[in-house]
Structure 1
Amino acid sequence: MPHSRAPTAAKSVPGPQPGTSWVPAVEQLSLLTADARCAREKAYEQRVRRYSDPYLARRSAGRKHPVEDFLFTYYTQKPGQLLRWHPGAGVVLTGEAASARMGWKHYRTLDDGELASLGLPPGTPAVTFDRDKFLADRHEAVAFADIILRGTAARPAQFGCFGLHEWAMVYRQDKFDRRHEYLQLRLGSTGTDKVVEDNRIRCSHFDAFRFYTPDAIALNELTPSRENQRHMEQPGCLHANMDLYKWAYKLLPALPGELVMDCFELSWRIRAMDMQASPYDLAEWGYPPVRIETAEGKAAYVEHQRAFAAEAAALRARLAQALAPLRTAGTV
């Protein structure tokens, strides 16, 4: 029988506090040439379609993929939205690109003074990110993303979970609604339950914990919640690092699309490893297992986890840097 462990709150390093003031500094504008814009936009579209086109084909055919659908079904950014390229804050587009974006949310046209400062004649179609409107509409979301990103970066990484959150999601699942009913468990129900019972379950990420079966909840040593998320996210967590994609697209169009796709592609690879370490048999899908029920599998998991954490740290820093023009340090 499993032994129930009393959940405890996580110790945390204080991160940025609520009340950060988001006061725009002087905006610096730079002009992107038509040729440079065309090259970036074309490269970006090709990059997105590598992932979105197969997903849309599967969806049209009524087929599912347990690994490669996830970023389009779990997160709220849809393929059509992801395909829309943005140059990022402070970048000015002209010509056809400007005309096309004049109706897009959180873009604005340049006034004659701004046009003159860029060497453009009065009346030139030119647009850029509308920082003031974006902050007016998205102040709370931007501030929360900043709290999560900087708070996560400030904490020590933990590498002892071994992906057992996925196992806790199917613990004693025969008593409840089956998760991913079209997938088989590698070790069967009894073997899967034994792995959960024989290991410490210490998930700090609420958006994984909330999918636990009822019988698994008491086995988790921590009690993550939406309310304490800002204090519990830590940079070794696969799901916290996967969520960099979420924070990136929520900050559009303040960020360049290329940064969003860098986060997307890291999340894609993390999702693959997360599912390889899960209890599911994904061999027929082309994903061999990382057998975390063994010592060798645990070591392999941690090796991947550390590599992902290093990549995520660099992306987290880039996201924080992209937020800097929107932030003035201090409290209100």
Structure 2
Amino acid sequence: MTDDHLDRRRRGAEHPVVDFLFTYYRTSVGTVRRWHPGPGVILENAHHDDRAEWRHYRRDSLYGRCGLVVNPDSVMARRGDRIRRARSVVEATAARPGATGCFGLHEWAMLYRAGADGARHGQVPLRISPDAIDDVVRGSRLRCTHFDAYRFFTEAAAPLNEPTLSRDGQIANEQPACLHAGMDIYSYTALLEAGAPGELLLDALGAAFDAREVDMRSSPYDLSAWGLEPIPVETARGRAEFVAFQREWIVRTGALRARFVRATDRLENMSSTALTGPAAALDDAG
């Protein structure tokens, strides 16, 4: 999932869809490629290899076996406040019904009345004229619920959104049909560092890849050079296609959110406790 990105980076080539997942989120490829079992699992004999130098591990023994385990205290000491806030956002989002119908117009709002030179992705041509972009925004209800998309709206577009968003209101506004709120699960999982089970990080990244592609295909940009066909949300057909993806997205990210909450709870519950017996090694099902 990262090989193509690394190859492009070596060649100095950019990709307007994929690069976002490693630049905007500031999650390094190395972080993604480094597998962790999560807390409560001993990696037998791992203290003899380079993993012994990795952050958030400690040497321990279990069932007479010696190796390394994730140190929950270390993770929570470094990232605890941010992890707890992420959990609050994820849990609140999961408890809210999905609101379809934004039609991915955030990228359009980022170009509203910006003119031909106002594109955020300067290396990517537009598939529709600036005047047509303005017409679509004026003729639509902007219903973005994600502050980190809203904050890039042009000055002219921001007052058109319902409601006005703020960082402080993030927990109250995010909802599970939002593509970006679902992509954030990948960022939140990476925040757990060694405390995140590798399978959760992999699945969250896979979902983020899919959502980012739909996100940009729904934009006013022409991505044909990258082999991507548009989802023309300025038409009834395109809007129906976008909503269909959102409905699937609610289900897919609902499962990821539940797994993220379990992972954070497990990490926090195991902090400040010693891994001394078989009970500490039980998984969620146990």
Please state whether the residue corresponding to 1:109 is helix, strand or coil: strand
Amino acid of the structure 1 residue aligned with 2:154:
T
1:178 CA drift (Å): 3.1
Q: Which residue of 2 aligns with 1:135?
A: 76
Match status 1:228 vs 2:163:
no
TM-score (norm 1): 0.77
Report the structure number with the largest CA radius of gyration. Answer: 1
- Match status 1:78 vs 2:28: yes
* 1:68 paired residue number: 18
Distance in 2 between the 1:319 and 1:203 partners? 24
Please tell me the residue identity of whatever aligns with 1:56: L
Q: d(CA) in 2 for partners of 1:82 and 1:182?
A: 27
Matched, 1:170 2:111: yes
2:55 maps to which of 92, 100, 105? 105
Q: Report the Cα offset of residue 288 of structure 1.
A: 0.6
Q: What is the identity percentage for the equivalent residue pairs of Structure 1 and Structure 2?
A: 44
What pairs with 1:152-301 in structure 2 (closer than 5 Å)? 152-174=93-115, 177-301=118-242
CA separation in 1, counterparts of 2:126 and 2:260?
Answer: 37
Distance in structure 2 (CA, Å) of the matches to 1:297 and 1:146: 33
Please report the RMSD computed on the Cα atoms of aligned residues, expressed in angstroms.
1.6
CA contact (8 A) 2:31 2:190 kept: no
The residue type paired with residue 64 of structure 2 is G
Q: Does 1:151 pair with 2:92?
A: yes
Tell me which moved more, 268-277 or 100-109.
Answer: 100-109
| Count of residue pairs the alignment pairs up | 269
Shift of 1:96: 4.0
Report whether the alignment pairs 1:88 with 2:21. Answer: no
> Contact 2:39 / 2:267 at 8 angstroms: preserved in 1?
no
Taking a change above 3 Å as real, the CA distance of residues 247 and 182 of structure 1, as seen in their structure-2 partners, is same
The 4+ residue runs of structure 1 with deviation greater than 6 A are none
Q: Give the corresponding residue for 1:118.
A: 63
8 Å Cα contact 2:72-2:268 kept in structure 1? no
Q: Equivalents in 1 of 2:119, 2:235: separation in Å?
A: 25
| Cα distance in structure 1, aligned partners of 2:129 and 2:31 | 39
**Amino acid in structure 2 at the alignment position of 1:118:** Y
Q: Out of 220-229 and 160-169, give the one that drifted further.
A: 220-229
The alignment's TM-score, normalised by the length of structure 2, stands at 0.89
Separation in 2, partners of 1:219, 1:98: 59
1:76 Cα offset (Å): 1.2
Residues 98 and 127 of structure 1 are in contact (CA less than 8 Å); yes or no, is this contact kept in structure 2? no
Do the aligned residues in 1 keep the contact of 2:179 with 2:246 (CA within 8 Å)? yes
2:140, 2:35 → 1: CA distance?
45
Deviation track 1:176-230 (CA, whole Å, cap 9, x = no partner) reads: 7431112222221111110011000011101100111111111111122111111
TM-fit CA distance, 1:119:
2.4
Question: What letter is aligned with 1:63?
Answer: A
1:176 and 1:213 in contact (8 A); partners too:
no
| Greater displacement, 140-149 / 54-63 | 54-63
Q: Give 1:101 shift.
A: 2.1
**Kept after mapping to 2: 8 A contact 1:86/1:256:** yes
Using the TM superposition, name which of 64-73 and 307-316 deviates more: 64-73
Residue in 2 that maps onto 1:42: none
